[in-house]
Structure 1
Amino acid sequence: MPNIASNLKFLRKTKRLTQQQFADLMEIKRASVGAYEEDRAEPKYELLKKIAEFYDLSMDELANDEINEKWKRAPKSNASNLRVLSVTVDGLDRENIELVPVKASAGYMNGYADPEYVATLPKFSLPMFNQGTYRAFEIKGDSMRPLASGSIVVAEYVENWNDIKPGQTYIVVSKDEGVVYKRIAFKFKEDKGLKLVSDNKSYDPYWVEASDIMEVWKAKAFISTTLPEPSNEPSMETLTSMMAEMQKTINSVVDKG
C-alpha cells in the first residue's frame, strides 16, 4: 500500500488529532498508529475499512491516492473498466448459464471472448438466476474448503470492477493463474489489481495484477455431489441422555454414602 503511511499521518493532522486521540477513536494502541504512519506495519483490512469510513474516503483512495493539500477526489467514471462478454441464449432469447469444466479451463483462457467457442460449452439454466449474466465454473483443489474439489460455482459477471467488494468470493480469470475461486481480501484501483486469499489458511494470499485479469465473476451459489459428513459433535438428545446417566451415578454414590 504505497501511500497509506503518509496518508494516515496527513489525515490525522488535518483533524488536529494526536496519535493517542486517533488510537482511542480506532480502539487500537498508540504504538500501532506510529507504526502505520512510519510504514513499519500495515493496518489489517477491517481497521483500514474503519479508517476510510472515519475520513469519508473509499478504501481505494485511502490506500492508493497521494492525499495532501492539493489532492482532489477523482470524479467517478465507469467507462475505463466496462467489458464486453460473449453469451449464448436459448430458444426464448434467455441467456444460458455456460459451464466451464476443469478440463476446459485451458481452452477457456483462449476462447472466453470468442462467441463460437462459448457456444461449444455445456449449457443449463436455473430458475432463480433468470436476471443477469451467469456462468458456472468447476473448481479443483482444497484451497476453498469446506467447498469440495469438483464443486461447481455459479457466478454472476462483474462488468464494472468498481463493484467488486472485498471479503466476498469471486471467480477470477487471469493470464497467469487461470480460473481460480478465491476470496478478495483487498482491491486497489483497477491498475493495481486484486489480493486473493483462500479460506483454507494453508495457502498463502497473493496479488493478481489488473493487466493480467481477464474476467471477474461474483459467486452466487454452488452445486456439489459431495454431501456433508455427519457431525462428530453429540446431539442435544445424546447430551441429555449423558446428563441423566451422570445424575444417576451421582445419586447412587450419595445413597451409598
Structure 2
Amino acid sequence: MLLSKNLRHLRTSQNITQSELAEKLGVQRTMISAYEDGRSEPKLLALKVISELFGVSMDELLYHDIQEKGRKAVQSRDTKILTIAVDESDRESITMVGQKASAGYLNGFADPDYMESLPQFRLPNLASNQSYRAFEIAGDSMLPMVPGTLIVGGYVDQLRDIKSGKTYVLVTASEGVVYKRVFNYLEENGKLFLVSDNEHYKPYEVKGEDILEVWEAKAFISTDFPNPKDRNNPMTIEDLSKMILDLRSEIVKMKGRS
C-alpha cells in the first residue's frame, strides 16, 4: 500500500500540519506521524474522513502513487455516492438501521453487501424523488420520541441544505449516529449546533467535516402511542425563535472562551 507516502504528500502539499490533521481525525499528533512513517494504519472510518478531506478515493489513497503519477481524479468533498437497496422490481426500499447495527453502520454504510444485510421495507405516501433510511433511536434526549422509535429520514446531499430548527439523523465520525434538532452555522464557523428536545441534555457542536451522512426526519414509527396528557407542549414559532436567539448567544460565549 502507498498510504503513508500519499498521506504525507497530500498533507504537505496543502500546507496542513500534523497537528491540524490530527485534530480533524480526532487522534493524537503522534498517530499522524505513525501513519506517515508506516508504523500504524488508520481505521476504516478515519480513512473515509481522510479521503473526503483531500478529495481522493480510498482506492487512490491506498494503491496509487499520487506524488509520482499525479492524481487520477479530483473528487469534491460534497460529492457522495449513496448506497441504496432495491426490491425485485428495482424499486428503492427503506433500509432499517437498528440500535445494535448503529456501530456497524459507521463502517458499512458505503458497502453494498453490508447494506443488503440490513432489514428493508417500504412505506406509502413518501415522495418518490428522494432516498430514505430508518434509524432506531436510543435514549430519551428527543422526547416525546421514546427509545425504540424508528425515525424515517430523507437523504440530504448537501450540508448547506440543512435547515435550522428541523430534526435530522446525523451519521458522524465523532458522535456516531445521532438524532437531534440541528442549527446550521457552517457558513459562520464551519459547525452544526445539535440540540435535544429534552432540556436535561446540553446542546453541543459538531464540525462539518465530521458529518458522513444527513437524513432529514420525514416520519416516525413507534409502538408507543403518545398520550396527549404526557406529551410536551408543541413547539411554537415563538419558542423556536427564542431558541435560535439563545443558541446564538451561547455560540458567542463559546467563541469568547476559545
Same fold (TM over 0.5): yes
Structure 1 spans left out of the alignment, 5+ residues: 1-78, 233-257
The superposition leaves residues 30-83 of structure 1 with CA deviations (integer Å, 9 ceiling, x where unpaired) of xxxxxxxxxxxxxxxxxxxxxxxxxxxxxxxxxxxxxxxxxxxxxxxxx64232
Structure 1 residue 191: Cα displacement:
7.8
Amino acid at match of 1:178: G
1:81 aligns to what SS in structure 2?
coil
Q: Structure 1: how far apart are the matches of 2:220 and 2:104?
A: 22
1:189 aligns to what SS in structure 2?
helix
Structure-to-structure mapping, 1:49-198, within 5 angstroms: 80-129=77-126, 131=128, 132-189=130-187, 192-198=190-196
Contact 1:191 1:210 in 2 (8 A): no
**Residue matched to 1:54:** none
Structure 1 residue 209: Cα displacement:
1.1
Aligned Cα root-mean-square deviation (Å): 1.9
Amino acid at match of 1:185: F
Query: TM-score of the superposition, structure 1-length normalised?
Result: 0.57
Structure 1 residue 213: Cα displacement:
1.1
1:220 and 2:251 correspond: no
Structure 1 residue 130: Cα displacement:
5.1
Structure 1 residue 129: Cα displacement:
2.1
**Residue matched to 2:70:** none
Q: Structure 2: how far apart are the matches of 1:122 and 1:199?
A: 28
2:184 aligns to what SS in structure 1?
strand
Gap change, CA 1:84 and 1:190, over 3 Å in 2: farther
Q: Structure 2: how far apart are the matches of 1:159 and 1:191?
A: 20
Gap change, CA 1:186 and 1:228, over 3 Å in 2: same
**Residue matched to 1:52:** none
Contact 2:136 2:150 in 1 (8 A): yes
Structure 1 residue 190: Cα displacement:
9.5
Structure-to-structure mapping, 1:244-255, within 5 angstroms: none
Q: Structure 2: how far apart are the matches of 1:119 and 1:97?
A: 11
Q: Structure 2: how far apart are the matches of 1:191 and 1:84?
A: 26
1:184 aligns to what SS in structure 2?
strand
Q: Structure 1: how far apart are the matches of 2:127 and 2:89?
A: 12
Structure 1 residue 231: Cα displacement:
2.7
Structure 2 spans left out of the alignment, 5+ residues: 1-75, 231-258
Q: Structure 1: how far apart are the matches of 2:184 and 2:208?
A: 13
**Residue matched to 1:32:** none
Structure 1 residue 212: Cα displacement:
1.4
Contact 1:153 1:219 in 2 (8 A): yes
Q: Which has more radius of gyration?
A: 1
Contact 1:190 1:210 in 2 (8 A): no
1:136 aligns to what SS in structure 2?
strand
- State the 4+ residue runs in structure 1 displaced beyond 2 angstroms: 229-232
Equivalenced residue count is 155
Contact 2:186 2:208 in 1 (8 A): no
